Amino acid sequence: MGRLAQTDGLTEIQRDILATVRDFVDKEIIPVATELEHKDEYPTAIVEGMKQLGLFGLTIPEEYGGLGESLLTYALVVEEIARGWMSVSGIVNTHFIVAHMINAHGTQEQKDHFLPKMAAGEIRGAFSMSEPGLGSDVSAISTKGVKDGEFYVLNGQKMWLTNGGTSTLVAVLCKTDEGGSSPYKNMTTFLIEKTAGFGPNPTVPGLTVPGKIEKMGYKGVDTTELVLQDVRIPANRVLGGVPGRGFYQMMDGVEVGRVNVAARGCGVARRAFELGISYAQQRSTFGKKIAEHQAIQFKLAEMATKVEAAHQMMVMAARKKDSGERNDLEAGMAKYLASEYCKEVVEDAFRIHGGYGFSKEYEIERLYREAPMLLIGEGTAEIQKMIVGRRLLEEYKIAE
């Protein structure tokens, strides 16, 4: 293990967790990742291994059977997992977001019901905010929930659910028109328990997961639509028990999700750097290893600097959230920087591999297809820059 992407001030427990995860990644993920990715095969054995390690309950409080660890610990674990295969980190990411939302905003009954099973990996979560026609404009959601006695009736279509098929709990954002004039007070998060699988759901009449969306990369993990036709959900499955708070609950989830995406970018970039610097010491041109050419050394130096900068920014954003402070500025910066640097580091590693980088026999080919997803996941670079810009204007507002 090299000196890049080290984190100061970790406890012994945090170091032990990371060492265990790193060993798991090296032995159980990296050797099979490319084969499973090319087959677009769900990594069942890897997921079972993560359940045994307790990773699905990493941040869930100990009173509910979790490990009670911080966002920083989780982000560092995600960085290690993404270094092995980014899709695996996606399997735990949406689960983590939903668990965070329930722990932070749920009723006591919801916490008691969901969190112990989520900590054990028996219930696995998915996060559903986006729709086919809304992009980044969350206020434009059209999926609607209408109160009907002790139930809500949900109708609409959601898009881009990571773990949409394999999950058994989905946090779904709907328009409910119960909060007044502001569209942001007319959204509600519903907790929908379902059976894993595709097609019409046998336990939730009217709910359908049509099938997997075919993607350029980010394979293995299922990405789906979610169709709701007169789905009846008990009112006690409104997150927090009070309608109209869904937008703020979802944004809290997205905020920690942005730290997660930053961590994924750091992990993929670090793996690309490892592959690039290793290949540069094996390949020879013009009578010497290409690592001895100044042009390649310059490229490696730039790659390593980007890996280090992204890691430290991600750590800062996680620690800010853990302190209880608002971290949308830091999370936006970290997500923006890490995803952009990841793309650049992966491309440089691809160039170092030359023609072999274009071959599916080499791992860098997979990373080259995976990196673009980070540019759009949890908000595009343009959205991050809007968030950062607005926050900077708040911080540096001049007196009129």
Identify whether 62 is a catalytic site residue: no
Which two three-digit tokens encode residue 319? 């620690």
Separation between Cα atoms, residue 326 and residue 316, nearest integer Å: 12
The end-to-end CA distance of the chain, in Å, is 53
Chain center to CA of 393:
28
Among 353, 346, 359, 345, which Cα is nearest to 291's? 353
Contact present, 201 and 194 (Cβ < 8 Å):
yes
Determine the residue type at 238.
V
Contact present, 130 and 160 (Cβ < 8 Å):
yes
Separation between Cα atoms, residue 119 and residue 140, nearest integer Å: 33
Q: Degrees (nearest 5) of the Cα angle 95, 101, 104?
A: 135
Q: Which candidate in 69, 308, 370, 378 is catalytic?
A: 378
Among 25, 135, 21, which Cα is nearest to 67's? 21
Catalytic residues: 378
